[in-house]
Amino acid sequence: MQNYVFVIDTNFRPLNPMSPKKARRLLDKGKAAVFRMYPFTIILKTAIDNPLLLSCQIKIDPGSKFTGFSLVQNNQVIWAMELQHRGSLIKKKLESRRAVRSRRRGRTTRYRKPRCLNRRRSENWLPPSLEHRILTIQTWVERLIKFAPVSEIWIERVKFDTQKISNPEISGIEYQQGSLAGYEVREYLLEKWDRECTYCGKKDIPLQIEHIQPQSKGGSNRVSNLCLSCDKCNQKKGNKPIEDFLKNKPGLLQKIKSFAKKPLKDSAAVNATTDKLVKVMSRLLPVVTGTGAQTKYNRIRLGLPKQHWIDAACVGEVEFLELLTNQPLLVICKGQGGRQKAALNKYGYPIRHNPLKPIKGWCSGDIARNVLTGDFGRVNPRSSSNSFGFTVEGHKLVNIHCKNLMKVHRKDGYNYSFS
């Protein structure tokens, strides 16, 4: 089952999405043309007067690394998408830029007076790696509003209680903010350890909370000392120290120890962006919020698997759901590319000069179809040759003459694929 197809009339007004079968019939009869490949949208060659529109809801499950989108119409999921953010890459590049600028200031302006006192951040300022998540979600919501009759936006509004996660025994004067609605320790551990047994790696089985260092040996209840384990591994480990239990697996032992101390940065990212995301979305359309516990309850009650787009469809009050698609659009944020005019070696000397873009009408990242084989892939044009690099998902780069490539989708900062 594929995603429904978005439809707009000749005046660019959104109509009800239709099944791929009906869209193909309109294209074959010449009554419509392809307007956009991702998300796939067709445009009618006539205007529709007073169309009967069925309102849709955009449901969003925001996360630190992935965000799920579902378009729901009359309790039917007709379109779905999973968006992978690039916040960690943005943070890495900003840190690299900061290091370069710091070294340059040390060389050229060693005695410059501090300038930090005259630079103030706005009231709702967020780091670029977090602001990117909000802007990307806003971009996709605005796209969907252009192509579908959307009436509401539903957002999962979760709060990770980082104090309670770090120390479940905290209380009284040490914890004056009260308990926050949202994920408990078990939910955090399920996401942190990827819903699999820490010791054997099995998935889709009942998991238990396991103390890495047993309480009888001085282990605490802090989240840095907790993991997930299946019943068999839990019984086998007993109250042994993890060093004794995994003495024959030093690689796994080191991995568990380092991963257990992983900071709560994902939780902090979700906490920092959720409120602002709701505020930004409310400027576009009415917003309905739901809790994380409500989403999980709906998904388990309906017997649905754990996926980002399915979590999005289960946001809010849901009586029943019918999945008319099981093939969500997978979108990866790649950015628009840099403006670096020359590639440098490790010593900082230029080794290659980047040509101006576009090259022969193509840009790096454009999606094209190979007219010889019918494959879809990304194009890497070359200024010195008519032979372009062509990469199909899951295959190595091959060289193809540009006349054998048909442009399908302009580069817009994202990679597209289907599950």
Res 177 pLDDT > 50 = no
Where residue 160 falls among pLDDT bands split at 50, 70, 90?
A: low
Query: What is the β-pairing status of strands 150-156 and 287-290?
Result: parallel
pLDDT of residue 296: 86
Where residue 184 falls among pLDDT bands split at 50, 70, 90?
A: low
Where residue 151 falls among pLDDT bands split at 50, 70, 90?
A: very high
Where residue 161 falls among pLDDT bands split at 50, 70, 90?
A: low
In this predicted model, which residue has the larger pLDDT, 2 or 32? 32
Half-sphere exposure of 203 (CA within 13 A, CB side): 7
CA 261/CA 58 separation, integer angstroms = 36
Q: Which sign, positive or negative, has the C-alpha torsion 303, 308, 309, 314?
A: positive
pLDDT (tens digit per residue) in 105-134: 888 877 777 777 677 788 888 889 999 999
Res 179 pLDDT > 60 = no
pLDDT of residue 96: 86
pLDDT (tens digit per residue) in 49-66: 888 999 999 999 998 889
pLDDT of residue 178: 34
Where residue 280 falls among pLDDT bands split at 50, 70, 90?
A: very high
342-418: CATH class? mainly beta
Output the CATH code of domain 56-86+127-161+271-333: 3.30.420.10
For 272-281, what is the mean pLDDT?
89
Distance of CA 59 to the CA centre of its chain: 14
pLDDT of residue 355: 79
**Residue from 236, 240, 209, 237 nearest 225 by CA:** 209
pLDDT of residue 140: 96
Res 174 pLDDT > 70 = no
Average pLDDT in the chain: 85
pLDDT of residue 159: 61
Where residue 170 falls among pLDDT bands split at 50, 70, 90?
A: very low
pLDDT (tens digit per residue) in 225-243: 888 899 888 888 888 888 8
In this predicted model, which residue has the larger pLDDT, 268 or 121? 121
Considering the chain, what percentage of its residues have pLDDT values greater than 90? 43
CA 167/CA 224 separation, integer angstroms = 9
Lowest mean pLDDT, pick from 6-15, 161-170, 174-183, 359-368: 174-183
155 SS3 class = strand
DSSP 333-394: E--S----SEEE-TTS-EEEEPPPS-BTTB-TT-EEEETTT--EEEEE--TT-SEEEEE-TT
For 21-34, what is the mean pLDDT?
94
166-260: CATH class? mainly alpha
